[in-house]
Amino acid sequence: MYFLIQANVYLDPDHYKIFDALEELNIDYSVINIPPTAEKIDFETDRKDVFVYGSVTIARLAKQNIDWFPGSFYEGNHLYEVYSQYYGENLLNHKVSVHKISEELIWKKDELKFIKPYNEAKIFTGKVFNEAEWKDFVFEALENQSNRITEDSLVQISEAKRTIKEARIWIVGGQIIDAGYYKFNDNTPFEEKVSEGGLSFANEMIQLFNLEEAFVMDICLTDEGWKIVEINCINSSGFYPNTNVKSIIKALNIYFSN
């Protein structure tokens, strides 16, 4: 398989690991710069067995190249309205409402809301906001001309929930290829490997709905057991310091080369 890698992914300090993995595995690849305002991928190749990796921009634009396989998995089953029908109450934020970012929200006294982008995953990072923080964020986001946020951008809002620990699961061909914690809350003790309970939960969710041939699932432990935090597109999911990038690239190469 041929990997097309975006060079300018500034937000991910572990991005370089993909180059180390490709070199070690002796896999063909090219590196491309893509400005945030690009409308197409300016790259030509006779290869059809192309997989793209980088930001949401390259994942989104690669969908235009219908001859590339696997190309990009952007959108499709990654939309909340699709996967929520299968995962239901296994989602951390099962009950959500969708609004334009410019809409006035109703806030109770001292209320916290979890707010994230609805259909454009990375226009900002989802997190917990109070009323003042959200209003400040919206004002600054709409004033900023360098992002893709507009008054019509949709956001997904749900009740803020407490999580104990969170892990990223990389899935290829219905199999867990790599799993690692990225967050421990409060006084939760550190664990090097994701617990059997977490892995079992992830496998159950894959059996319930194997969302794509390759995708990323973030899971968390709560007071009510394990839940899905969110589903991510594998073409634009970031690596953490403990991510086994070589295993992921090897699995992608083997699975999609058969």
* Residues 125 and 141 sit within 8 Å (Cβ to Cβ): no
CATH number of the domain located at residue range(s) 76-90+162-244 in this protein: 3.30.470
Is it true that the peptide bond before 35 is cis, omega within 30 degrees of 0? no
Interatomic CA distance for residues 169 and 181, integer angstroms: 9
pTM given for the model: 0.85
* Residues 51 and 236 sit within 8 Å (Cβ to Cβ): no
Quick check: 10 pLDDT over 70? no
Please report the pLDDT score of residue 123 as a whole number. Answer: 83
Q: Amino acid identity of 165?
A: K
Please report the pLDDT score of residue 11 as a whole number. Answer: 67
Please report the pLDDT score of residue 121 as a whole number. Answer: 63
Q: How do the domains of the chain map onto residue ranges? A: 2-63, 76-90+162-244, 96-159
10 Å Cβ neighbour count for 210?
15
* Average pLDDT of the residues of the chain: 92
Name the strands in the sheet holding 50-53, side by side, starting at the edge strand that comes first in the sequence: 29-32, 2-6, 50-53
Q: Which of 105, 100, 106 is nearest to 119 (CA)?
A: 100
What would the two tokens of residue 70 be? 């696997």
Interatomic CA distance for residues 36 and 54, integer angstroms: 12
257 phi-psi bin (left φ>0, alpha ψ -120 to 50, beta other): alpha
Q: 208-246: per-residue pLDDT in tens?
A: 999 999 999 999 999 999 999 999 999 999 999 999 999
Q: 20-74: per-residue pLDDT in tens?
A: 999 999 999 999 999 878 899 999 999 999 999 998 899 999 999 999 999 999 9
* Residues 165 and 220 sit within 8 Å (Cβ to Cβ): yes
Q: Return the DSSP state at 22.
A: H
